[in-house]
Amino acid sequence: MVLSGVSRALAEDVSVWVYHNYPPFIVDIAEERGLSYDLARLLTDASDGAFQFNVMVLPRQRLNQRLQGDMPGLVMWANPAWFGDTGRTTFLWTDPVLRDRNVVISPAEEAFEYDGPKSLTGMTMVGVRGHRYPGVDSLVRAGLVERVDMRSERSLVQFIASSRGRVAIVADSAVRYFVNELGLGDAVHVAEQAHSTYQRFILVQPQLQAVHTFLENTVPGIAGSSVWAEKIAGYGLQESATP
């Protein structure tokens, strides 16, 4: 225990910024529960005393300010396209840590099968405030699809489950967590065709070269491990969520 305490004291603190403030990524900030904390602990343990990864939940706007101000840190669950870095020249990136997708959900009693953005024409689509939905946003601007926004993924899933909304687009990881937690398996239908699929990575600020090198060597092993698969399953995610 003494050696462990000394190791932590000598470790380099690494700020881990998370703007996905909803399960399974963040379940309880005070109790440090959620997939973000799980991954941070796995990375800390794997560094063998070199790094201490500390999770900090931030709104996207404040996160952007830190990135633009060149503050040292990393961002979990990011994708190059969401940060204008598809060429991966602005930031450093790890291998993927999670496979996710945006799915289209509807009340089970009025199950809707999505067939591309145009299949939503004439409908009211529920989304999360501030989120963008490629292919659908242009239809909203053209007046072909009406959009109603919820404050959170939890509210959105509950809204659809109670049949107050006709159709919604939301991250599959969030749907599976809330359906499992709230016992909504018989109330929510997930369309077979997804709206979009993507990988989630860890974004690293360029000045943290040593941290990035460590992550390059460590993330693939964690992402492909049985421990990580068990962590993911614990939040109701399928094995297909592993990258």
Looking at the fold, whether 214 and 181 belong to one and the same domain comes out as: no
Q: Give the pLDDT band (50/70/90) at residue 2.
A: very low
Looking at the fold, whether 6 and 51 belong to one and the same domain comes out as: yes
CA 87 to mean position of chain CA atoms: 21
Say which CATH number the domain at 167 has. 3.40.190.10
| Unique residue bearing structure tokens 């659809």 | 160
Looking at the fold, whether 206 and 158 belong to one and the same domain comes out as: no
Residue 5 confidence (pLDDT):
53
Residue 185, judged by CB atoms within 10 A of its CB (0-12, 13-18, 19+), counts as exposed
Q: Give the pLDDT band (50/70/90) at residue 228.
A: very high
Looking at the fold, whether 78 and 125 belong to one and the same domain comes out as: no
Residue 209 confidence (pLDDT):
98
Looking at the fold, whether 46 and 79 belong to one and the same domain comes out as: yes
Domain count, the chain: 2
Domain limits at 86?
Answer: 2-98+198-241
Residue 97's nearest CA partner among 10, 190, 16 is 16
Residue 238 confidence (pLDDT):
72
Looking at the fold, whether 157 and 170 belong to one and the same domain comes out as: yes
pLDDT in tens, 50-99: 999 999 999 888 999 999 999 999 999 999 988 999 999 999 999 999 99
Q: What is the DSSP letter of 59?
A: -
Mean pLDDT of 14-31: 95
Q: Give the pLDDT band (50/70/90) at residue 144.
A: very high
Looking at the fold, whether 172 and 218 belong to one and the same domain comes out as: no
Mean pLDDT of 221-238: 91
Q: What does pTM read for this prediction? A: 0.83
Residue 236 confidence (pLDDT):
82
Q: What is the DSSP letter of 83?
A: G
